[in-house]
């Protein structure tokens, strides 16, 4: 078949959304995913190669003559997957290992921000259990305790309770040797996915994740329980400040020190005055933010990601739908502390078709076992709606999720609550 051969690395909802976007791109001939999930297997070719096995991914890319590899998760980027692919002449969407340190080490990210004057929370590194009480006196509650490990958003404790904060600090010091204690930033969160290479950057529509497991933003942090885009908290004025104060300095810095051809995920806290500060950087697309961002791109996704991977982003134009998108995550029983898996998921082929209003189920932790879909992870899938208004997108997503059946599963009923005020 004519068109590019694209390999997507990963097996979550983000990768299913990327696979759908690639299948719909006129410039694409074949879409491969490794390892993929039950959802990607119905639209693309899955390969049983782990997303952390960088050597096997490079071999697979060579075997299928991939024109472009799009790397979903951070771990293979930190391990140098993009460097290895580029050394073989294969275009990779994802930064090199030097660029990926921005997510691989929160301490390094803080150092970079402080050096560049990028606005973020003050931070204290605590390496000794004997310093814990004194360090807690340095900040007002609530305390923000961050382990410096790749923990998918789950290595952070935000608490008003001094004992809980001190236990989190001690546990982290004992397991990792040190921990970061941060100033609490009040405000509303938003994420901006910035596609970049050395020639240019393009900000995709801002989105808002819902990180806490429970309604009303209660309970422990998760990888993300739902999202919507565009997020109105990112007004034009806020976006201009984000670009000027955060994206431009980061772009200039990254272009100088690394081969940063990929996505910079800017996690923001926006205070009541509209002042943005960085909560975190990730070096990849967000999950579930991707599920609500990619469907809003109306131009060819392969052209966008391929141009970034080849360093020619400044040559292309991107267009967006003037729609809204909302996704609701269906999580396994016990998630986020422990997830019960291996259960049948019914109804995951539900969809709504239309030009203006459409929706589908993005698979995440699923696999096919003898033609049946079975859960394999904490976040099993998410139901996504796209429509002219956010309330219609929400209606589609909730109608789709009510058609899913998975024993013991749970989902939040209030995704989009800051805008929809149900």
Separation between Cα atoms, residue 84 and residue 87, nearest integer Å? 5
User: Does 158 interact with ligand AMP (rule: CB under 6 A)?
Assistant: yes
Figure out which of the listed residues 282, 341, 382, 384 binds ligand GLY, where binding follows CB under 6 A: 282
Whether the Cβ atoms of residue 418 and residue 208 lie closer than 8 Å to each other: yes
Q: Which stretch binds ligand GLY (CB under 6 A): 118-126, 284-292, 315-323, 371-379?
A: 284-292
Q: Work out how close the CB of 310 gets to ligand AMP at its nearest, in angstroms, rounded to a whole number.
A: 30
Q: Which stretch binds ligand AMP (CB under 6 A): 74-82, 84-92, 181-189, 369-377?
A: 181-189
Residue 287 interacts, among ligand GLY, ligand AMP, none and using kind-specific CB cut-offs from 5 to 8 Å, with ligand GLY
Q: Which stretch binds ligand GLY (CB under 6 A): 167-175, 178-186, 234-242, 283-291?
A: 283-291
User: Does 209 interact with ligand GLY (rule: CB under 6 A)?
Assistant: yes
User: Does 121 interact with ligand AMP (rule: CB under 6 A)?
Assistant: yes
Q: Is the dihedral of CA 185, 187, 189, 195 positive or negative?
A: negative
Other beta carbons within 10 angstroms of residue 20's beta carbon come to 22
Q: Which residue pairs from 139-145 have beta carbons closer than 8 angstroms and sit at least 24 positions apart in sequence?
A: 139/181, 139/182, 139/183, 139/184, 140/184, 141/165, 141/184, 142/184, 143/181, 143/184, 144/181, 144/182, 144/183, 144/184, 145/169, 145/172, 145/179, 145/180, 145/181, 145/182
Residue 24 interacts, among ligand GLY, ligand AMP, none and using kind-specific CB cut-offs from 5 to 8 Å, with none
**324 by DSSP, 3-state: which?**
strand
197 vs 209, beta carbon nearer ligand GLY: 209
Whether the Cβ atoms of residue 291 and residue 19 lie closer than 8 Å to each other: no
36 vs 72, beta carbon nearer ligand AMP: 72
Q: Work out how close the CB of 78 gets to ligand GLY at its nearest, in angstroms, rounded to a whole number.
A: 14
Helix axes 248-257, 106-116, angle to 10 degrees: 110
Whether the Cβ atoms of residue 4 and residue 23 lie closer than 8 Å to each other: no
- The tally of CA atoms less than 13 A away on the side-chain side of residue 407 is 7
The gap between the terminal CA atoms of the chain, to the nearest Å, is 48
User: Does 153 interact with ligand GLY (rule: CB under 6 A)?
Assistant: yes
Residue 121 interacts, among ligand AMP, ligand GLY, none and using kind-specific CB cut-offs from 5 to 8 Å, with ligand AMP
User: Does 224 interact with ligand GLY (rule: CB under 6 A)?
Assistant: yes
Q: Work out how close the CB of 280 gets to ligand AMP at its nearest, in angstroms, rounded to a whole number.
A: 4
Figure out which of the listed residues 198, 287, 300, 414 binds ligand GLY, where binding follows CB under 6 A: 287
Whether the Cβ atoms of residue 263 and residue 193 lie closer than 8 Å to each other: yes
Whether the Cβ atoms of residue 415 and residue 328 lie closer than 8 Å to each other: yes
Q: Work out how close the CB of 121 gets to ligand AMP at its nearest, in angstroms, rounded to a whole number.
A: 4
Site string for ligand AMP, 217-236 (x = CB under 6 A): ----x---------------
Figure out which of the listed residues 51, 144, 307, 313 binds ligand AMP, where binding follows CB under 6 A: 144
DSSP 204: P
Edge-first strand listing for the sheet containing 262-270: 201-203, 188-196, 262-270, 276-282
21 vs 378, beta carbon nearer ligand AMP: 378
User: Does 219 interact with ligand GLY (rule: CB under 6 A)?
Assistant: no
Rg (CA), the chain: 21
Figure out which of the listed residues 11, 21, 286, 378 binds ligand GLY, where binding follows CB under 6 A: 286
Residue 361 phi, psi (nearest 5) = -100, 120
Q: Work out how close the CB of 180 gets to ligand GLY at its nearest, in angstroms, rounded to a whole number.
A: 17
Figure out which of the listed residues 211, 251, 363, 379 binds ligand AMP, where binding follows CB under 6 A: 211
The two tokens of residue 56 are 């096997």
Identify which of 227, 186, 182, 236 has the alpha carbon closest to the alpha carbon of residue 209. Answer: 227
User: Does 189 interact with ligand AMP (rule: CB under 6 A)?
Assistant: yes
224 vs 365, beta carbon nearer ligand GLY: 224
Site string for ligand AMP, 254-283 (x = CB under 6 A): -------------x-x---------xx---
Interface contacts to ligand GLY, rule CB under 6 A: 153, 209, 224, 282, 286-287, 289
Interface contacts to ligand AMP, rule CB under 6 A: 121, 144, 146, 153, 156, 158, 182-185, 189, 211, 221, 267, 269, 279-280
């Amino acid at each position: 078949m004519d068109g590019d051969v694209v390999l997507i690395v990963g097996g979550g909802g983000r990768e299913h959304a990327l696979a759908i976007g690639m299948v719909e791109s006129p410039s694409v001939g074949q879409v491969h995913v490794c390892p993929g999930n039950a959802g990607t297997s119905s639209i693309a070719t899955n390969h049983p190669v782990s997303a952390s096995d960088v050597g096997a991914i490079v071999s697979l890319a060579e075997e299928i003559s991939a024109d472009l590899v799009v790397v979903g998760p951070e771990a293979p980027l930190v391990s140098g997957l993009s460097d290895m692919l580029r050394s073989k002449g294969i275009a990779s969407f994802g930064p090199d290992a030097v660029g990926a340190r921005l997510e691989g080490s929160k301490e390094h990210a803080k150092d970079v921000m402080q050096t560049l004057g990028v606005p973020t929370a003050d931070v204290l590194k605590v390496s000794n259990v004997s310093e814990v009480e004194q360090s807690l006196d340095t900040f007002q509650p609530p305390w923000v305790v961050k382990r410096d490990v790749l923990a998918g958003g789950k290595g952070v404790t935000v608490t008003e309770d001094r004992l809980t904060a001190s236990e989190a600090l001690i546990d982290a010091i004992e397991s990792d040797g040190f921990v970061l204690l941060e100033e609490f930033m009040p405000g509303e969160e938003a994420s901006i996915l910035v596609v970049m290479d050395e020639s240019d950057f393009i900000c995709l529509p801002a989105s808002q994740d819902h990180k806490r497991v429970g309604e009303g933003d209660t309970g422990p942090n998760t990888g993300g329980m739902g999202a919507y885009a565009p997020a109105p908290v990112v007004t034009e004025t806020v976006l201009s400040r984000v670009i000027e104060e955060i994206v431009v300095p980061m772009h200039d810095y990254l272009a100088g020190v690394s081969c940063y051809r990929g996505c910079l995920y800017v996690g923001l806290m926006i205070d009541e005055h509209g002042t943005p500060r960085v909560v975190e950087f990730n070096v990849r697309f967000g999950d579930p933010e991707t599920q609500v961002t990619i469907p809003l791109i109306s131009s060819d996704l392969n052209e966008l990601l391929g141009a970034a991977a080849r360093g020619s982003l400044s040559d292309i134009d991107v267009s967006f739908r003037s729609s809204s998108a909302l996704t609701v995550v269906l999580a396994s029983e016990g998630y986020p502390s422990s997830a019960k898996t291996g259960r049948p998921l019914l109804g995951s082929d539900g969809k709504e078709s239309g030009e203006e209003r459409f929706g589908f189920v993005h698979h995440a932790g699923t696999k096919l076992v003898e033609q049946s879909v079975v859960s394999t992870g904490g976040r099993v899938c998410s139901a996504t709606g796209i429509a002219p208004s956010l309330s219609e997108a929400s209606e589609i997503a909730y109608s789709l999720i009510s058609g899913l059946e998975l024993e013991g599963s749970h989902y939040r009923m209030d995704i989009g609550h800051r805008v929809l005020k149900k």
